[in-house]
Amino acid sequence: MYEFVSGPLVWISFIVFIGGSIYRLVSMFKLADKEKVIFPYMSLKYSLRSLIHWIIPFASTNMRRRPFMTIITFAFHICLVLTPIFLLSHNLLWYQSWKISWWTMPERTADIMTIIVIFTAIFFLIRRLVLPEVRFVTFLSDYALLTVAVAPFITGFLAYHQWLPYKTMLILHIISGEIMLIAIPFTRLSHMLYFVFTRAYMGSEFGAVRNSKDW
């Protein structure tokens, strides 16, 4: 089982992720090209202004109005993205397979960032269950996507600390990571692919057309 999930299934998940991402991006550009008001209004200046502004914590008015939510959201996304990229064990696997290596974070830092992902995910879950205005727009798919996003971190944490059977947790960790990778192009997790383009369009629309700020 381990040989399959750490071998052929890894290749399948990467092929689906890369192929699906290319398909979604190409589809987006084709759809945008049909709308004659999108590309002509795109502005590099206002696109970059909007992108830089929205990736800075507390830069927008809404972020300053909801400081706790801003901290939680940024912490979740930063740790979710950076932890698997700069994790030592993942780096070793890249090096063993393709002789590719880069900087890795200390294991204690990775532990802390993993815990942040888990607890912020629990916060998002409770928020969806408790707040009426959030629960009203929450569907079963939202719970499923939250599970898909946090499962690799829970299983990886348990496997690393060997609090449960190591081999089982390791297999579950690999499978959950592959499920997340495959899900990205075909679910709302695809916002990680679209964010740059949607924010660039919003910035161009507000800045170049409306002569105002989009925050």
**pLDDT single digits (tens) 127-158:** 999 999 999 999 999 999 999 999 999 999 99
CB-based contacts of 12, cutoff 8 Å, min separation 6: 178
pLDDT at 7: 83
169-208 pLDDT tens trace: 999 999 999 999 999 999 999 999 999 999 999 999 898 8
pLDDT digits (tens, 9 = 90+) for 12-35: 999 999 999 999 999 999 988 888
Q: What is the pLDDT of residue 100?
A: 86
Indicate the class that CATH gives domain 2-13+42-209. Answer: mainly alpha
Q: Where are the domains of the chain?
A: 2-13+42-209
* Pairwise CA distance, residues 60 & 67, whole Å: 11
Query: How many CA atoms, within 13 angstroms, populate the side-chain half-sphere of residue 121?
Result: 23
- List the one residue out of 183, 150, 182 whose CA is nearest residue 10: 182
Average pLDDT of the residues of the chain = 93
Q: What are the distances in angstroms from CA 68 to CA 50, 62, 65?
A: 22, 11, 9
Sign of CA dihedral 28, 33, 36, 41: positive
pLDDT in tens, 47-80: 999 999 999 999 988 899 999 999 999 999 999 9
Identify the pLDDT of residue 93: 85
